[in-house]
Structure 1
């Protein structure tokens, strides 16, 4: 904690554990620190960052909350929900964080991240602690392998509990737009607010995680595989296997019993492990789209997308 606070105060970046994935944190009010996040990740400057806060008082200084946004915060914070809200011009957040938008993405994390932000006293910008577009890290080893040579500290918090990035919801004119499915299932949000989430967004990137190609291993990814070839690796789900599974180069099962929460927790670590098997293609068995399955399928679709690096899903 003390080492992390000293580095953040000096404008450096620190990889920290959260309940979702490991984040690459820097002072959201310090332009040099925010720039170091983009440089360490190789992240495009047009892709905004999430600002993380420790309290509602800190959040209210950064963004404008209406009654609907406060209801969501009360129900899901701290936790894996990010709210996209109107940005207060007096917040002190550096413009690089919002990528020129008049909105800001805010989240209140749990655990070490929350304590760190509380002691630091200012919001932290913290995208996932990995090279831009690649598999998000859920262990300290994954961070160290990818970014260890570019940053000065990786805080070891063990494996993350959720394993998927936060759900991102934009609150606008009394309506809720799902910009990215994630660790909070859409149905849970709809139950709290009593209204349906609107899918899709206006053109352009309005929040992190909206690039078409993202979360990608080096290997190609083949979705909804009805069979698997011997030279492929297999990302399995549930108790039953597709034809050819007994001959594959490597296989890992997201959840042998078909539990979507377990599958979400294992997704990125299993993708990373299969990517290291040497197989040129990872075949993925079908995964239900209900509950957390929506977020799992979203990540897999982006992992399988053509890798132009600039496409946006709307």
Structure 2
């Protein structure tokens, strides 16, 4: 059973409890502004292996390495001018940059899935303080069983992984609620590998460069969150619903109600006022709540696709994708 420490009340106790576990190569759950992460020493192969085993995550799927600040990131990865500009603009924050690894960086190949690049992020708040105290990057995918809904509270982590880890650091509900945006600078364009907490429009405005969306034709996994099926509840997902069927739960937006709503096992409005930031922060928690109703299907109304809506719709599409060995990555993991 995991020990849970409230970092808002006992930050020093939290760091004192976390550091020995990290030194011993054991993963812990830590809060970030995006979602809760399952964190372990990115330079220790046993620690990285423990992340994969705890999550049941395919080992070809790379992990984001979290740094205390840009200076720390520069010890491990090489920045081109545009990536440096993005780091200066959006760090600390929900942006991951895919960068070339420095030779002899010390980040273990298990964390990068053997790639010569690494996903790097500087989170806001307590997690950066913990990383600075540890003085090594923490590989930290979302603290949940692989492919399931990402956790935005310590309680979510405890319900899923509480029997498999020793420590959960509780920082309250995640403020952003969606994983980080992942980009890779490629010449004079920026490739968006995963939409997230910073919109493509913000990135384009900050750099003056075109942001090109990943079209799904490249089978190579370059970054987390690129599997077709991901973020999935136990129930199936039915998107763009215009009516509700008996026995379904409803995930809605902006106060929208559907014909057949009287059949709903539960009604969950991501943002009654139609605020996309509020919807992003609510998404994973409300997906869990809808799943807990016992509905076999969660019907989802249309969500605007601009700004953070792009990331919300990305997560919903992956949650609704067919769950096969090919789409979840388990086929690749077995090979």
Shorter-chain TM-score category? over 0.9
In the alignment, does 2:229 pair up with 1:213?
Answer: yes
Unaligned runs of 5+ in 2: 1-14, 330-335
In the alignment, does 2:187 pair up with 1:173?
Answer: yes
In the alignment, does 2:133 pair up with 1:119?
Answer: yes
The alpha carbon displacement at 1:312 in A equals 7.8
Aligned length: 313
Given that 2:41 and 2:137 are in contact with CA atoms closer than 8 Å, whether structure 1 keeps it comes out as: yes
Q: Distance in 1 between matches of 2:312 and 2:32?
A: 18
Q: What residue is the counterpart of 1:244 in the other structure?
A: 260
Q: Distance in 2 between matches of 1:311 and 1:4?
A: 35
Q: Distance in 1 between matches of 2:114 and 2:256?
A: 48
Q: What residue is the counterpart of 1:22 in the other structure?
A: 36
- The alignment yields a C-alpha RMSD, in angstroms, of 1.2
Q: What residue is the counterpart of 2:45 in the other structure?
A: 31
In the alignment, does 2:85 pair up with 1:71?
Answer: yes
Runs of 4 or more consecutive aligned structure 1 residues displaced over 4 Å after TM superposition:
none
Given that 1:204 and 1:312 are in contact with CA atoms closer than 8 Å, whether structure 2 keeps it comes out as: no
Q: Distance in 1 between matches of 2:93 and 2:256?
A: 33
Q: What residue is the counterpart of 2:9 in the other structure?
A: none
In the alignment, does 2:286 pair up with 1:270?
Answer: yes
Q: Secondary structure at the match of 2:75?
A: helix
The alpha carbon displacement at 1:173 in A equals 2.3
Q: Secondary structure at the match of 2:170?
A: coil
Q: Distance in 2 between matches of 1:93 and 1:309?
A: 29
TM-score (norm 2): 0.92
Q: What residue is the counterpart of 2:308 in the other structure?
A: 292
Q: Secondary structure at the match of 1:154?
A: strand
Q: What residue is the counterpart of 1:307 in the other structure?
A: 323
The alpha carbon displacement at 1:73 in A equals 0.2
1:99-118 equivalences in 2 (<5 Å): 99-118=113-132
In the TM superposition, what whole-angstrom CA distance separates every residue of 1:115-147 from its partner, at most 9, and x where no partner exists? 000010010000000000000000101100100
TM-score (norm 1): 0.98
Q: Distance in 2 between matches of 1:18 and 1:292?
A: 18
Q: Distance in 2 between matches of 1:305 and 1:177?
A: 23
In the alignment, does 2:217 pair up with 1:164?
Answer: no
1:184-263 equivalences in 2 (<5 Å): 184-200=198-214, 202-263=218-279
Q: Secondary structure at the match of 2:169?
A: coil
Q: What residue is the counterpart of 1:7 in the other structure?
A: 21
1:141-156 equivalences in 2 (<5 Å): 141-156=155-170
Given that 1:13 and 1:37 are in contact with CA atoms closer than 8 Å, whether structure 2 keeps it comes out as: yes
